[in-house]
Amino acid sequence: MKYRIVSYLFFYVLLILVVSSCQNRPKEVLNRKSMEQLMYDVYVAEAILENDYSNFNTPEKKEAYINEVFKAHEVTQAQWDTSLSWYSDRIDLYLKMNDSVKVRLQRVRKDIDRQVERLNAQQIVDPALLSPSYIPPFYSFSMPGAKKGFSFRLDSAEFRSRVSEDHFSFTFSVIGIPPLFTSDLSSMLTLVYADTTISQSHEIRENKTYSMAASRFIPGDTLTQINGFVHLQDRSGITPAIRLYNIYLGDGKLDSVEVNSPEVLPAPLAREPLMVDTMRIAQ
């Protein structure tokens, strides 16, 4: 019982001290809630000033930006300085306020990081950043940002690094072509030799694997460049849910394999990363 009385007395004295401290706060000093909000915005503003050198490259510009923060809170630089000094003299209270602001900043930073990750996951690669020799392993005409197909170009050094045998092929599988398909979907592989150019093409009308065979050498000539594309010319204005997968240029030649169910994606597609290529499209 005596312990409880002492505890109550201690709590009562502490409460009086807290109330007294608040009452002793000068009028020009911001209250704790207002001060914490201002501290948060000032910290954010200082981080922006430190990182955005191009827009805040002079002391005058930095001071003007901080003054805009004070203006938004309807306080002056003098009020900020006075309040900061007053709370700093009460170190325990100041540290609690500072910790509260830091927790809020960390929470907001995590939210921003998550949003950035989502945006990056949805980002379509700028064609200017892709190599002309890039061949996507998967392509969907209906994905956001997709164009009418993809193209590629390999010089002699690039295809030598990719092809080790004399004979190779450009191969891809197709799924999603509807029974009544009236659009023009085609592929072409052009082999440029020193004195000869050979082109072969496919009209893509069925859900199956397409393969175009090629050779590094023909009698008296050597391959110097490979050009290829898959292009959809759709006049209906409705983008079909056609997908290309297992897209590959390399050694060997695959036989055509029928895909019986355009509604069900085959297993290899599920393992491939979903990538949309926006490279230059053959016109």
Give the pLDDT confidence of 103-127 residue by residue, as tens digits. 988 887 777 677 556 545 544 555 5
Q: What is the DSSP letter of 217?
A: E
Give yes or no for residue 43 having a pLDDT over 70: yes
In angstroms, the Cα distances linking 173 to 148, 227, 242, 265, 269 are: 17, 19, 11, 11, 10
**Rounded distance between C-alpha atoms, residue 69 and residue 65, angstroms:** 7
Residue spans per domain, the chain: 13-122, 129-271
Torsion region of 156: left, alpha or beta (phi above 0 gives left; psi -120 to 50 gives alpha): alpha
Fold of the domain spanning 129-271: Jelly Rolls (2.60.120)
* Mean pLDDT on 172-178: 84
Backbone angles phi, psi at 145, to 5 degrees: 90, -10
Tell me what pLDDT residue 5 has.
Answer: 47
Tell me what pLDDT residue 153 has.
Answer: 93
pTM of the model: 0.46
Token duo for residue 274:
């979903």
Q: Give percent of the chain with pLDDT exceeding 90.
A: 29
Radius of gyration for the chain, computed over Cα atoms and rounded to the nearest angstrom: 34
How much of the chain is helix, strand and coil, in % rounded to 5? 40, 25, 35
pLDDT tens-digit readout, 226-283:
999 999 987 666 666 788 888 999 875 434 333 333 333 333 333 333 233 323 333 3
pLDDT tens-digit readout, 155-171:
988 888 888 888 999 99
Q: Give percent of the chain with pLDDT exceeding 70.
A: 68
Tell me what pLDDT residue 112 has.
Answer: 65
